Amino acid sequence: MKVIVCASRKGGSGKTVSARHLAVAALKGGVGRVAAVDLDPMRGLTRWWQRRPEDGLELVQLAPPNLPSTTHEDRQAVALAAAEALERAVPALRAQGFGLLIVDTPPAADQIVRLAVAAADLVLVPVRPSPDDLDAVGETADLVTAAGCPMVFVVNSATKKARLTGDAAIALSQHGTVAPAILHRSDAYAASALDGLTVQEADPRGAPAHEVAALWHYVAKRAGVLAREPVNKITGSPELKVVGGRARGKAG
């Protein structure tokens, strides 16, 4: 089982969007059981998952049950407890046959992010191509680099043909590896989330779906999830070779 952590100190960069789209891409791609862990006290991934039709994507609660969760402070404590449990949970989930664990993290809670990064095989850092977002990248990169974890930047919510997009990729490459797959800005991300879906489910032939497929292809290779060629990018059918997780043919 591989662990991919979506992390960025910058709020709204696309951590949760990336987490849910990669989780579904992995599930459709047949890497075996796919688990998601939501370490953000805001619980955006959890709420999306609760709206989602049951399809085998498993949301794993790592905090001890019955902790209070009324206030934001409560939820912060729950998220920290879950982050503290993550390292021990990884071998247990692996033993249960999970092929991939995707972890979403909050924008600014240092300790939670540190614990998540420590458990990661790959940290994915989404970055919007704006000067503000680029200025904030160094902090995240330092945190991940200090942990010695492989990291990849993903340019997210880019405008097609905008000069800023290319400039952003160049600026990011000075901090680390930039994924060759870019996610362009599309209302399809928010629209599909209303029903707990992803762009690849709402419109499998649309440009955002192809971009997500390309990102998954790249990220899976980087994380060591896939052996060679990816799933059929359009249908997501699971005729692929798998290493790192268990080859189970069908997800679920």
Residue 107 or 224 having the CB closest to ligand ATP: 107
Q: Are 181 and 218 in contact (CB under 8 A)?
A: yes
> Within 13 A of 246's CA, how many CA atoms are on the CB side?
13
Of residues 37-56, which lie at the interface with Mg ion (CB under 5 A)?
44
Q: Report the SS3 class of residue 127.
A: strand
Task: Report helix angle 163-173 to 131-147, nearest 10.
Answer: 30
* Shortest distance in whole angstroms from residue 105 CB to Mg ion: 8
Residue 16 or 156 having the CB closest to Mg ion: 16
Q: Are 23 and 220 in contact (CB under 8 A)?
A: no
CA distance 30 to 243: 11
CB under 5 to 8 A by kind: which of ligand ATP, Mg ion, none does 186 bind?
A: ligand ATP
* Shortest distance in whole angstroms from residue 158 CB to ligand ATP: 8
Which part of the chain contacts Mg ion (CB under 5 A), choosing from 16-24, 112-120, 174-182, 200-208?
16-24
The residues of the shown chain that bind ligand ATP, judged by CB under 6 A, are: 8, 11-17, 40, 44, 107, 156-157, 183, 185-186, 189-190
* Shortest distance in whole angstroms from residue 90 CB to ligand ATP: 22
* 206 alpha-carbon distance from chain centroid: 20
Among 3, 4, 13, 16, binds Mg ion (CB under 5 A): 16
The two structure tokens encoding residue 1: 């089982």
* Shortest distance in whole angstroms from residue 190 CB to ligand ATP: 4
Q: Are 16 and 217 in contact (CB under 8 A)?
A: no
Q: Are 226 and 220 in contact (CB under 8 A)?
A: yes
* Shortest distance in whole angstroms from residue 15 CB to Mg ion: 5
Look-up: residue for tokens 């982050």?
A: 83
Residue with the shortest CB distance to Mg ion: 16
Residue 47 or 94 having the CB closest to Mg ion: 47
Residue ranges binding Mg ion (CB under 5 A): 15-16, 44
